[in-house]
């Protein structure tokens, strides 16, 4: 698989330490394209809106808590409808693809892209790509109309189907070109957005007028920069049912232990939020917080204590937790899925056996293991996620119509923004165990932190500010100019400095030619 690391990012700096990490626009590589008035201004439904269009220069700040004298920091281009669009309604031929694991809300995003294109922009040609990236070249397409998608938000899954693997750049872009598609909406997680960046680069290399818009999806909520991923709230809500069942089982029998495994490959957000919401959980184990079983301060000791105090306990474990312990005691299989993601061993089953074995010699316990893994993601999204999905879809449609491309949409401090692909894919969002939220959880469950003071000091050191660009070191690196390319920094970012109004790229800049 290719690494889309050579993507150039448009960087605009302004006074007071202002930085705009901008997204590409058609006019960056197709300078003479015609533009048209946005048809939204003649749409009766939107006639009541005071301001039809977002200001061309509006941006969204990444860092919302600032120090009095601190720099203004990183910004992203604000999402929303623009005064001028770069497609005539008849000209648009859009397609939508869903990739990676399922997530509640996928169908809502599909529905709202189709309806947004039809009702806001008068578009009539929208295709569904069947079965993920490989569907571009290996399957038939599905014609999508508002009538066809009318009820799909009430169903779980994706009506388009999904898959892992199968990302073949040339075949995908050939198919886009052959079919005359000029807007590609790609819904998926970190892997999918990496694939989208590769597709965008190839489209730009071929000089095609094809907008590539990513809509971030992950049940695990591990995509950085954006506030939260769609479907996450639905998953946490559904997880309550499993935790409630575990609690009922545990409280109905002597020394009952209810154990629930939840999704979360590398990030324990679902487990953490489900635990905090429930208040019935005595112990939450996540990938970010290593734990141990035996000895003082270990899990067995805590279980024994809780059972003696309370007569029952509920444990929530994220699927990626304790993988180090598993590989110590089981032979590591080192298997991967078709996309190259590591396949995890079942930590829930493993820990159930370990707990049962340990207490068999000590005291009678009754452990019930509940694994609702796929049940929390294969359901329709709840109301709040539906609204969120609508905004994501509409933001993507407005961006593509306005000629932006090579971007992902998402809320940053509650305002929707266009975010460069590499910012979404460069790292994963994780629970920070030295943050207040994890402390809240520890205080609500009373579980041991499984950390000694040395570990705490180390993890505080490891915690870097999320707006790393403002660190003097990083900042220097990004704004430095290489000797061979005056516009390209050492990290491959396009640098545009001292622009006229502080946020827009000066047209006469040598960097924009």
Ligand X SMILES: Nc1ncnc2c1ncn2[C@@H]1O[C@H](COP(=O)(O)OP(=O)(O)O)[C@@H](O)[C@H]1O
> Binders of ligand X among 121-160, rule CB under 6 A?
132-133
Contact (Cβ atoms closer than 8 angstroms) between residue 208 and residue 245: no
What is the per-residue binding string for ligand X in 329-348, x denoting contact by CB under 6 A?
A: ----------x-x-------
Say if residue 218 carries a ligand binding annotation. Answer: yes
Our answer to whether residue 58 is catalytic in this structure is no
**C-alpha triplet 193, 198, 200: angle, nearest 5°:** 90
Catalytic residue among 22, 130, 220, 280: 220
231 binds ligand X (CB under 6 A): no
Q: How many residues bind ligand FBP (CB under 6 A)?
A: 12
Contact (Cβ atoms closer than 8 angstroms) between residue 107 and residue 380: yes
190 binds Mg ion (CB under 5 A): yes
The item of ligand FBP, Mg ion, ligand X, none sharing an interface with residue 166, based on CB under 5 to 8 Å by kind, is ligand X
**71, 100, 105, 216: which one binds ligand FBP (CB under 6 A):** 100
189 binds Mg ion (CB under 5 A): yes
Token pair listed for 133: 């990236």
The item of Mg ion, ligand X, ligand FBP, none sharing an interface with residue 249, based on CB under 5 to 8 Å by kind, is none
For the chain, what is the largest distance between any 2 Cα atoms, rounded to a whole number of angstroms? 79
Specify the pairing of strand 407-412 against strand 366-370.
unpaired
Nearest by Cα to 7 from 501, 503, 493: 493
Interface region with ligand FBP, contact rule CB under 6 A, candidates 46-54, 259-267, 358-366, 400-408: 259-267
Say if residue 118 carries a ligand binding annotation. Answer: no
**9, 99, 321, 401: which one binds ligand X (CB under 6 A):** 99
In angstroms, the Cα distances linking 458 to 22, 433, 453, 463 are 35, 11, 9, 9
Interface region with ligand X, contact rule CB under 6 A, candidates 99-107, 275-283, 309-317, 391-399: 99-107
The residue with its CB nearest to ligand FBP is 101
Is residue 12 classed exposed, middle or buried when 0-12, 13-18 and 19+ CB atoms within 10 A define those classes?
Answer: buried
Say if residue 179 carries a ligand binding annotation. Answer: no
Smallest distance from ligand X to CB 425, Å: 8
Specify the pairing of strand 126-129 against strand 141-143.
antiparallel
CA atoms within 13 A on the CB side of 409: 30
**111, 153, 265, 415: which one binds ligand FBP (CB under 6 A):** 265
CB neighbour list of residue 363: distance below 8 Å, 6 or more residues apart: 255, 304, 307
Q: Which residues are annotated as a binding site?
A: 101, 164-165, 189-192, 218-220, 263-265, 319, 374-377
Q: Which residues are part of the catalytic machinery?
A: 220
Interface residue list for Mg ion (CB under 5 A): 189-191
């Amino acid at each position: 698989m290719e690494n889309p690391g050579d993507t150039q990012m448009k960087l605009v700096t302004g006074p007071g330490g202002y930085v705009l990490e901008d997204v590409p626009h058609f006019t960056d590589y197709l300078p003479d394209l015609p533009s048209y008035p946005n048809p939204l201004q003649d749409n009766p439904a939107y006639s009541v809106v005071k301001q039809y269009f977002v200001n061309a220069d509006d941006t969204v700040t990444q860092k919302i808590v600032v120090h009095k004298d601190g720099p203004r920091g990183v910004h992203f281009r604000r999402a929303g409808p623009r005064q001028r669009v770069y497609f005539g309604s008849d000209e648009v031929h859009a397609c939508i693809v869903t990739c990676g694991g399922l997530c509640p809300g996928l169908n809502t995003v599909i529905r709202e892209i189709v309806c947004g294109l039809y009702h806001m922009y008068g578009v009539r040609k929208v295709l569904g790509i069947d079965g993920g990236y490989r569907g571009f070249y290996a399957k038939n397409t599905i014609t999508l109309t508002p009538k066809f998608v009318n009820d799909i938000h009430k169903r779980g899954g994706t009506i388009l189907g999904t898959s892992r693997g199968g990302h073949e750049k040339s075949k995908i872009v050939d198919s886009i070109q052959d079919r005359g598609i000029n807007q590609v909406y790609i819904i998926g997680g970190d892997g999918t957005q990496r694939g989208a960046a590769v597709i965008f680069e190839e489209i730009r290399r071929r000089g095609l007028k094809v907008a590539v818009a990513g809509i971030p999806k992950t049940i695990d909520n591990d995509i950085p920069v954006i506030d939260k991923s769609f479907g996450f709230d639905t998953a946490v809500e559904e997880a309550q049912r499993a935790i409630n069942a575990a609690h009922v089982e545990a409280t109905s029998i002597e020394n009952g232990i209810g154990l629930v495994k939840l999704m979360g490959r590398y990030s324990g957000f679902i487990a953490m939020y489900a635990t905090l919401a429930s208040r019935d959980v005595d112990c939450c184990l996540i990938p970010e917080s290593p734990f141990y079983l035996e000895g003082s301060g270990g899990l067995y000791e805590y279980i024994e204590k809780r059972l003696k105090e309370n007569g029952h306990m509920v444990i929530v474990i994220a699927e990626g937790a304790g993988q180090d312990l598993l590989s110590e005691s089981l032979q590591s299989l080192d298997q991967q899925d078709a996309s190259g993601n590591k396949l995890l061993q079942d930590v829930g089953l493993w820990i159930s056996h370990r707990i049962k074995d340990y207490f068999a010699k000590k005291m009678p316990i009754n452990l019930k293991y509940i694994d609702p893994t796929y049940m929390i993601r294969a359901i329709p999204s709840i109301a709040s996620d539906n609204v969120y999905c609508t905004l994501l879809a509409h933001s993507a449609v407005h961006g593509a119509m306005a000629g932006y491309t090579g971007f992902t949409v998402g809320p940053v401090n509650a305002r929707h923004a266009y975010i460069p692909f590499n910012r979404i894919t460069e790292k994963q969002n994780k629970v920070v165990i030295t943050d207040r939220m994890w402390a809240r959880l520890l205080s609500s469950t009373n579980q041991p932190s499984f950390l000694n003071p040395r570990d705490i000091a180390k993890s505080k050191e490891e915690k870097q500010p999320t707006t790393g660009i403002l660190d003097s070191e990083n900042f220097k690196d990004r704004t430095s100019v290489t000797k061979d390319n005056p516009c390209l920094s050492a990290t491959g970012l396009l640098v545009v400095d001292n622009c006229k109004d502080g946020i827009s790229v000066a047209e006469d800049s040598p960097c924009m030619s």
